[in-house]
Chains A and B, each alone.
Chain A
Amino acid sequence: MNLSAEEIAKVALLARLRIGPEELETYTDQINEIIHYVEQLQQVDVSGVEPLAHGVEVRNVFREDRRTDPLPREEALSNAPRRNHEAFLVPAVLQ
């Protein structure tokens, strides 16, 4: 398949990436080239094969349901791009 520039722009929006018009053309070409390459997987017979999400398959891991100390507020906020003394600051969500 071949993705159009409009489709790539839609993917960028879904991925929350702002792509300029000149970059859009380059990304469209490159992503199409990669998609064509990975399409060789369509030739492999995978009937009856279960998907494998981890090479070393993992089992359920449980821990004791016990309260532990959270990261102190000051440390949690220490990398915030914008903050006040108690919270992360972001643009208003509700207008």
Chain B
Amino acid sequence: MDPLGATISGLLDGYSSGSFSSEEAVRGFVDRVVAYNARLNALLDFDPEPALEQARAIDARRRSGEPLGPLAGVPIAIKDNICRRGEPTTCCSRMLSNYRPPFDAAVIGKLREADAILLGRLNMDEFAMGSSNETSAYGPARNPWDTDRSPGGSSGGAASAVAASLAPTALGSDTGGSIRQPAALTGTVGLKPTYGRVSRYGLVAFASSLDQIGPFGREVADVARVLSVIAGQDPRDATSVDLPVPDYLTAIESKGERPLRVGIAREFFGEGLDPEIESAVREASRIFESEGATVSKISLPNTTQAIPAYYIVAPAEASSNLARYDGTIFGHRAEDFGPKSEVEKDLPALIRMMMASRAEGFGPEVTRRIMLGTFVLSAGYADQYYVRALKVRRLIRDDYDRAFRDVDVILGPTSPVPAFKVGEKISDPLAMYLLDVYTGPANLAGIPGISLPGGLTKSGLPIGIQLQAPAFAEETLLRAARTFERATDWNTKRPTLD
């Protein structure tokens, strides 16, 4: 068996049967990184030695019969906004180019306890702001299905790495679709858990009420396994919720209490949806029916308001969170902060230092969102924009609450379009924002969502389908996803890079 093509289950089976060691598996992934990463730009400044050393230690423990964690020897790559003690964590921003956190994120602690092998850090949009990975200070990540195209964003590096088998699994973060959209564009499985399911401690904050960490994998069981490890309440994140963590892997293979009820919202099939993606979603609904599920039409009437609400709430929270980057205690500080205009002559040196440092440290998308957020929160406009967006946010959540009285999961597209060319949309921020049309509502409502491979376009690009479930119903969500996966073979399709 080849470790490089394996799922997490395949790797664990290979280790326990002795077909290959963790060190051999890690070496295989390292060789692939060496061979392909220059084309994909998925991983940043990759140092294989610590991963190999960790793999050797796990092999030794396995040989001596020591008990091992549930992800023992499984390599996992980490998005560059999740803190690892002493390792660079830059959010792909010049602002944090020299930052090394003095602590581990909660999820990193849990992965270490589970004996997973941390394999490099992943390219992303700067501070997770973007839908194409093009706002990264390290340049765009590329889609292994067609390297002229984007793998999506902001977890573009994670999606690209898993799709190209540079790592079997990865952690990303999802604020408006940043796990699900790149999963769709690269033919991988990406899960955004319920808000509060996974501790955000150590995830660099973008929009605190929307951000959630989640896994990428090749099959539903992969993300179920990783979720079982990283989920759970954490006293260091007051928004993490005190609910027991089920064994998701067992849950996905068990039969539900009654046939699955799948809903499809009529609002999903509006203007802008690629016809090939629409037919893949309709085909998916037929597959669910043939697997014994009932499929019914539902309505989420405020869906069209999700993007405008999102692009007020997210920048508002970002403008507040990113205020900490002012060049005083960490992050980039400008060398020259002498006055550059008449206005600046009257400002104290400390303020000019902050302004110059922020101007040099942040790229244009981050700057734009900070200004937008500052504006919508400013005196005289907060009620008109920010508070109104929060009211619409409640209407969006109410839509879901109503829908979930009649259905267990909602099926729809993940992204309105398949992978697009790098450079195609970057100069038009609004066009880029519309890519989140199907994913953003789940973040506003706090509910979980998963994207899984649901087809290929005529030109051979992956199509993602999305399932959403009520808050904390990840078991149902993953079981539904597994039902679809079992009936199709889309998750076994791989890009060819040679």
Size category of the B interface is 35 or more
A3 / chain B contacts, CB cutoff of 8 Å: 375
Complex Cα spacing A3 to B371, Å: 12
Question: For B239, what are the chain A residues with a Cβ–Cβ distance below 8 Å?
Answer: 54, 56, 58
B4 touches A (CB below 8 Å): no
Pair A18/B356 contact, Cβ less than 8 Å = yes
Residues 1-42 of A contacting B (Cβ, < 8 Å): 3, 8, 11-19, 23, 27, 30-31, 33-35, 37-42
Write the nearest CB–CB distance from B457 to chain A, whole angstroms.
Answer: 28
Cross-chain contact of B393 among A38, A39, A51 (Cβ < 8 A): A51
Q: Which of B194, B302, B332 contacts A81 (CB 8 A)?
A: B332
Report which residue of A13, A31, A90, A95 has the largest number of chain B beta carbons within 10 angstroms of its beta carbon.
Answer: A90
Q: Is B73 interfacial (CB-CB < 8 Å)?
A: no
**Please, how many angstroms separate the alpha-carbon atoms of A90 and B353 in the complex?**
9
Contact of A15 among B309, B364, B371 (CB under 8 A): B371
Residues of A within 8 A of B209 (CB): 53-55
Which of A15, A40, A75, A95 is close to B102, meaning CB atoms less than 8 Å apart? A75
Chain B residues lying within 8 Å of A19, measured Cβ to Cβ, are 359, 367
Chain A residues lying within 8 Å of B487, measured Cβ to Cβ, are none
B328 at the interface (CB under 8 A from A): yes
Contact with A along B363-375 (1 / 0, CB 8 A): 0100110111011
Tell whether A41 pairs with B308 under 8 Å between CB atoms, given A18-B340, A31-B368: yes
Residues of A contacting B327 with CB < 8 Å? 81
B471 and A55 contact, CB distance less than 8 A = yes
B305 partner, pick from A8, A40, A75, A95, beta carbons under 8 A: A40
Query: In the bound complex, how far is the Cα of B357 from the Cα of A40, in angstroms?
Result: 35
Q: What is the bound-complex CA distance between A70 and B90, given in angstroms?
A: 24
Q: How far is the CB of A31 from chain B (nearest CB, A)?
A: 6
Cβ contact of B371, chosen from A8, A46, A78, cutoff 8 A = A8
Contact across chains for A17 and B394 when beta carbons are under 8 A apart: no
**Cβ-defined contact, B397 with A55, below 8 A:** yes
**Are the C-beta atoms of A81 and B330 separated by less than 8 Å?**
yes
- In the complex the two chains form, is B102's CB within 8 Å of A71's CB? yes
- Let me know if B331 is at the binding interface, CB within 8 A: yes
Q: Which of B411-432 contact A (CB under 8 A)?
A: 429-430
The answer for the CA separation of A56 and B340 in the assembled complex, in Å, is 46
Determine if B328 and A30 form an interchain contact, defined as CB atoms under 8 angstroms apart. no
B392 close to A93 (CB less than 8 A)? no
Q: How far is the CA of A23 from the CA of B348 in the complex (A)?
A: 24
Residue of A nearest to B355 (CB): A18
Complex: A30 Cα to B431 Cα, angstroms: 11
Chain B 318-343 per-residue mask, 1 if CB under 8 angstroms from chain A, else 0: 01000100111111110001001001
B202 to chain A, nearest CB (A): 14
Give min CB distance, A92 to chain B, whole Å: 7
Q: Does B329 lie within 8 Å of A79, measured CB to CB?
A: yes
- B15 CB-CB contact with A under 8 Å: no
Question: Which residue of B308, B332, B343, B367 contacts A27 across the interface (Cβ within 8 Å)?
Answer: B367
Task: Please state if B350 and A90 are interface contacts (CB–CB under 8 Å).
Answer: yes
Nearest CB on B from A5, distance (A): 12
Assess A41 versus B309: contact at CB under 8 Å? Given A56-B194, A81-B333. Answer: yes
Answer whether A11 and B378 are a contact pair too, CB < 8 Å, given A16-B355, A18-B359, A82-B333: yes
Residue among A46, A79, A80, A93 making CB contact with B395, cutoff 8 Å: A46
Nearest-CB distance from A80 to chain B (Å)? 6
Q: Are A37 and B371 in contact (CB under 8 A)?
A: no
A42 vs B465: C-alpha distance when bound (angstroms): 31
Docked CA distance A95–B387 (Å): 40
Smallest Cβ-Cβ distance to B386: which chain A residue: A51
Interface status of B99 (Cβ within 8 A of chain A): yes
Apart from A15-B358, A34-B311, A55-B444, 8 more pairs, CB < 8 Å = A17-B355, A17-B358, A27-B371, A31-B368, A41-B308, A49-B394, A52-B391, A55-B209
Question: What is A's interface to B at a CB cutoff of 8 Å?
Answer: 3, 8, 11-19, 23, 27, 30-31, 33-35, 37-42, 44, 46, 49-56, 58, 61, 63, 71, 75-76, 78-82, 88, 90-93, 95
> Could you give 18 example pairs across A and B, Cβ below 8 Å?
A14-B378, A19-B359, A19-B367, A31-B371, A31-B375, A40-B305, A52-B393, A52-B394, A54-B446, A55-B471, A56-B194, A56-B195, A80-B329, A81-B327, A90-B353, A91-B348, A93-B348, A93-B350
